[in-house]
């Protein structure tokens, strides 16, 4: 870790804003996460400027620029600098807290140290400017070097003021890989119940960042009690012995180990964390003493749906997490037709996400199960080959259209749709090429068939009913 910040790492419009405030006689600094990240050699996600200038002075300094005043009552003026919004906030002290979340009032102060004192952790309570260098009244730099998260001030009081800080501590621990100072850790455990005061949206956004952190698995295992206040679904997984030879971990450890195998994207990580969430409630023991979990993917998807709604996930994310959990045990045979069928039903994006989840699941099982990865390699290779070959996976890609079928005598209506679906089914199955003449011949056969209209599509077309996903072979996938 460097103890210096190079101005060259800071976007010029940010430095220009500091200069403009200085030129007007107002102290101005970078503060919080960006200083922490710059000291760690990381690229900050955003730059926060703090200043002794009152909001109206800041507005006067940037009079020629586009200003956004939405944060004005908290002392924040947003300046569009070089196309990007830059938040400039007047130094402030927070008043008393009565809702465990937000100060009842804020007051402006000319003192930078007072402003830094209201910040959550020492590593987030440093300021820097080209003229004044680093300002670090609470030992943030030393904690950064030691990889330690420590509250500014008295931890009990700080978490009582604002319970969101409890989750922020876990989130920074997971993302930065820092350990939590003993007193800070004890206080957040004691006050964990206060997380109930935090809005679902804030909980969700912190948890999404947390589970994407490189140390998320360790943090979840170490602070399962605390996280259990907002994710009570995790608690029954803890110490849950699956009584199954495939499993070398308890259910929570398995879940987080699977989760950490996945790329740091919230949807995938949530699916990894929650894929076995219904195992405890679907557990049965057979006469040989082996544990089974029949129906856990479906039940798990239902639990995920409730969890995601409670945390106010966006709809697309919720649906995708639930779908992945519902499908995670689906066995896809390494055969062209099975793979085409799965691609057609899921679409390529979900298909490949599911394969990632299935791999992650295997990697968190007993090592003897790893040979399944070779099967997944074959499934994915087949899928890639099908996509590269432009295989028809949907009605749109079929070499005949409804119009073509009408031209050979079909009537518009449900039977036409059924015929097209049956043709696609036959193509997916590999029993006919996706080729216009061949498909029309098959459609003609179907037309001449005196089959009643309500017979399922495909029943007579290829001499057998359309295939569904084959069930998971018993005991093949836990
Ligand atoms: P990120 O990399 O996620 O942006 P950050 O530390 O910049 O991390 P922000 O939420 O952007 O986090 O907040 C900016 C700064 O504001 C923090 O570094 C911290 O100093 C302060 N801060 C944010 N939230 C709180 C809070 N709940 N209590 C006290 N200080 C806070
Ligand atoms: Mg930030």
Residue-wise pLDDT for 422-443, tens only, equals 999 999 999 999 999 999 999 9
Confirm if 88 and 17 have CB atoms less than 8 A apart. Answer: yes
- CA 265 – CA 357 distance, rounded (Å): 12
Does residue 45 line the site of ligand 1, with CB under 6 A?
A: yes
What is the pLDDT, as a whole number, of residue 64?
87
Nearest to 254 by CA among 21, 246, 292: 246
What is the pLDDT, as a whole number, of residue 2?
58
- The residue nearest atom 16 of ligand 1, judged by CA position, is 32
What is the pLDDT, as a whole number, of residue 345?
96
What is the pLDDT, as a whole number, of residue 4?
81
Has residue 1 been placed in a domain?
Answer: no
- The residue nearest atom 10 of ligand 1, judged by CA position, is 33
Residues with CB under 5 A from ligand 2 (ion): 33, 46
Domain with 285 in it: what CATH number? 1.10.3210
Question: Strand (E) positions, 112-174?
Answer: 127-129, 133-135, 148-149
The answer on 418 and 311 residing in a single domain is no
| Residue burial 439-456, b: 16+ Cβ < 10 Å; e: rest | bbebbeebeeeeeeeeee
What is the pLDDT, as a whole number, of residue 1?
57
The answer on 152 and 135 residing in a single domain is no
What is the pLDDT, as a whole number, of residue 314?
97
The answer on 261 and 165 residing in a single domain is no
Does residue 48 line the site of ligand 1, with CB under 6 A?
A: yes
What is the pLDDT, as a whole number, of residue 8?
84
What is the pLDDT, as a whole number, of residue 3?
61
What is the pLDDT, as a whole number, of residue 470?
37
Distance 172 CA to ligand 2 centre (A): 12
What is the pLDDT, as a whole number, of residue 400?
97
Instruction: Select from 337, 359, 388 the last residue of a domain.
Output: 388
Residue 63: domain span: 7-140
- CA 281 – CA 353 distance, rounded (Å): 26
- CA 238 – CA 277 distance, rounded (Å): 11
The answer on 441 and 402 residing in a single domain is yes
The answer on 288 and 383 residing in a single domain is yes
What is the pLDDT, as a whole number, of residue 321?
98
Torsion of CA 37, 39, 41, 45, to 10 degrees: 20
Confirm if 101 and 195 have CB atoms less than 8 A apart. Answer: no
Q: Which of 32, 75, 150 to mutate to test the pocket of ligand 1 (most atoms within 8 A of CB)?
A: 32
In angstroms, how far is the first alpha carbon of the chain from the final one?
Answer: 44
Does residue 32 line the site of ligand 1, with CB under 6 A?
A: yes
What is the pLDDT, as a whole number, of residue 379?
98
Q: pTM here?
A: 0.90
Residues 6+ apart with CB under 8 A from 266: 208, 211, 212, 317
Torsion of CA 13, 16, 20, 22, to 10 degrees: 130
Instruction: Give me the residues of the chain with pLDDT under 50, please.
Output: 450, 453-478
What is the pLDDT, as a whole number, of residue 105?
81
Has residue 2 been placed in a domain?
Answer: no
What is the pLDDT, as a whole number, of residue 457?
43
What is the pLDDT, as a whole number, of residue 248?
78
């Amino acid at each position: 870790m460097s103890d210096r910040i190079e101005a060259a790492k800071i976007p010029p419009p940010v430095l220009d804003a500091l200069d403009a405030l200085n030129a007007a006689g107002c102290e101005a600094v970078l503060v919080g996460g960006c200083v922490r990240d710059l000291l760690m050699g990381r690229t900050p996600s955003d730059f926060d400027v703090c200043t002794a200038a009152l909001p109206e002075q800041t507005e006067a300094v940037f009079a020629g620029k586009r200003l956004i005043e939405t944060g004005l009552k908290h002392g924040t003026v947003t300046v569009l600098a070089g196309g990007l919004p830059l938040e400039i906030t007047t130094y402030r002290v927070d008043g008393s807290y009565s809702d465990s979340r937000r100060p009842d009032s804020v007051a402006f102060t000319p003192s930078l140290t007072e402003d830094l004192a209201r910040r959550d952790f020492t590593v987030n309570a440093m300021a820097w400017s080209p003229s004044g260098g680093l300002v670090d009244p609470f030992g943030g730099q030393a904690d950064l070097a030691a990889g330690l998260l420590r509250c500014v001030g008295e931890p009990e009081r700080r978490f009582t003021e604002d319970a969101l800080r409890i989750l922020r501590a876990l989130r920074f621990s997971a993302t930065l890989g820092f350990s939590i100072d003993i007193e800070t850790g004890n206080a957040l455990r004691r006050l964990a119940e206060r997380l109930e005061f935090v809005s679902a949206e804030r909980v969700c956004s912190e948890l999404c960042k947390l589970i994407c952190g490189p140390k998320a698995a360790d943090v979840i295992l170490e602070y399962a009690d605390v996280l259990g206040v907002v994710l009570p679904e995790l608690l029954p997984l803890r110490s849950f012995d699956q009584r199954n030879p495939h499993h070398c971990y308890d259910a929570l450890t398995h879940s987080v180990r699977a989760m950490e195998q996945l790329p740091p994207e919230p949807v995938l990580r949530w699916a990894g964390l929650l894929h076995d969430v219904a195992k405890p409630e679907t557990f049965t023991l057979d006469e040989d003493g082996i544990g089974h979990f029949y129906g856990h993917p479906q039940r798990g998807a239902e639990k995920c749906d409730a969890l995601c709604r409670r945390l106010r996930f966006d709809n697309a994310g919720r649906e995708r997490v639930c779908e992945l959990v519902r499908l995670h045990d689906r066995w896809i045979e390494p055969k062209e037709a099975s793979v085409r069928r799965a691609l057609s039903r899921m679409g390529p994006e979900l298909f490949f996400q599911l394969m990632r989840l299935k791999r992650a699941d295997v990697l968190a099982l007993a090592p003897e199960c790893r040979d399944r990865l070779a099967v997944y390699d074959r499934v994915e290779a087949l899928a890639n080959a099908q996509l590269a070959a432009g295989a028809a996976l949907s009605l749109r890609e079929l070499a005949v259209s409804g119009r073509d079928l009408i031209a050979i005598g079909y009537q518009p209506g449900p039977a036409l749709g059924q015929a097209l679906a049956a043709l696609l089914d036959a193509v997916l199955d590999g029993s006919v090429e996706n080729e216009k003449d061949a498909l029309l011949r098959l459609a003609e056969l179907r037309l001449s068939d005196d089959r009643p209209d309500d017979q399922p599509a495909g029943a007579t077309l290829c001499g057998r009913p359309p295939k569904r996903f084959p069930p998971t072979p018993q005991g093949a996938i836990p």
